[in-house]
Amino acid sequence: MSKASTSSPKCSFCGRDKSEALILIAGIQGHICEICIDQAHEIVIEELKQNDGKKSSLDKSSFQLPEHITPKQIKGYLDGYVIGQDEAKKYLSVAVYNHYKRLRQVSMDDVDIEKSNILFVGETGTGKTLLAKTIAKFLEVPFTIVDATVFTEAGYVGEDVESMLSRLLQACDFDVEAAEKGIVYIDEIDKIARKNDNPSITRDVSGEGVQQAMLKMLEGTEVNVPPQGGRKHPEQKMIKLNTSNILFICGGAFDGLDKIIARRLNTQVIGFRKEGEEQVDQENIYRYINHQDIKAFGLIPELIGRLPVLTHLDPLDKEILVRILKEPKNSLIKQYQKLFELEGIKLIIKPDAYEYIAERALEFKLGARGLRSICEAILTDAMFELPSEKDVLELVIDKDYAMEKLSTSKLSHLKVA
């Protein structure tokens, strides 16, 4: 037997013997040890950084606001899709604009700009989620909408709060650097309020426990994120994400908050009013909201402190509902007109029909979402029958037609609260 065949294998790169190496991996033409693997890995990473330096700098700039965009222009874009809610749109525009400025900030002194997370408060159907979806179209940063109702305290059935960031990662194809500059909209934030304003010795697994888990995330910290969401497991590979530059926007209906505000303002039907005392707007009592009311509702002070920007959405009146039907670029009526147009039919809605639909939506107290239910009830028969009748070129909807169709639908049996 030859000497070469009896000798122990060596690393083909550094020449170390098998007895000197911790691991020696065999290949087709030779072997490689763990030290050479580490060195090769470092060389590859360094080469990628140098070769892709220009590309990575372009990637960073693609997630920043163009220089010529201003808060007024952001609001102007929102105006094209969301009717009314000027105050909420102003707050959102400024917050998004400042978020981009933070991403561009080059720290030259001791002043570090902190992010201003936002809390939207408004009745159901007033446009909280629509604002979030609309700003998502405008933005060039990763954006995701999550629902707070799925989160529970660690160890219970449900999802960990970190799973909201896994959705953000999925929105940008798991690009960690991009996700760390993203925006997260947390819907139904009021559903994780603790059941009363007093601390309890019993566990509130979907309320205060979830709020506690959100604190460091909203403020900014290193978070281990499960890539596919859901529960974290010890054997699962995690992705580390820094939330310091992620803007959080929260929204909720806060059902019953109006009573808390009214109690604080001491509104009453009968009695004496002090001279010069401001008349309270009973129709839009959310305009008087402050952080103390949110605390009384059930959000803990630590969480409220991490949502410094608090704004409200106005309740919708008849005029606004009519405008919502007609004016937005993606308005409900334009969608139905497009559906009929694909069948070669021109859909015409008379002004009195608009008024009637808005009035019924106000009665049902479902906000803008109620408009679609009513329109579906009115137009379902036409959408069922007209595709079979090729000679119909025009459909005119007036108040009488709308009343007739609505009276035969299930909505006519809906009891008004």
90 pLDDT band (50/70/90 cuts)? very high
Are 251 and 185 in contact by the 8 Å Cβ rule? The answer is yes
Of 383, 384, 380, 367, the closest CA to residue 408 belongs to: 380
> What is the end-to-end Cα distance of the chain in Å, rounded?
98
What is the Cα–Cα distance from 311 to 126, expressed in whole angstroms?
A: 13
Mean pLDDT, rounded, for 321-338: 92
What fold, for 318-413? Helicase, Ruva Protein; domain 3 (1.10.8)
**Stretch(es) of the chain classified as CATH 1.10.8.60:** 318-413
Mean pLDDT, rounded, for 206-213: 78
Of 127, 197, 200, 139, the closest CA to residue 168 belongs to: 139
pLDDT in tens, 98-127: 888 877 776 666 777 788 899 999 988 888
For residue 200 the two structure tokens come to 């309890």
What is the Cα–Cα distance from 364 to 344, expressed in whole angstroms?
A: 33
CATH architecture of 71-269+279-312: 3-Layer(aba) Sandwich (3.40)
pLDDT in tens, 346-360: 999 999 999 999 999
What is the Cα–Cα distance from 353 to 347, expressed in whole angstroms?
A: 13
Residue entry with tokens 């798991």: 174
Q: What mean pLDDT, rounded, does the chain reach? A: 82
% the chain with pLDDT above 90: 31
pLDDT in tens, 222-242: 988 887 665 565 556 788 899
CA angle (117, 85, 116) in 5-degree steps: 10
Residue 155 confidence (pLDDT): 54
**Stretch(es) of the chain classified as CATH 3.40.50.300:** 71-269+279-312
Most confident of 66-75, 185-194, 375-384: 375-384
- Whole-structure pTM value: 0.73
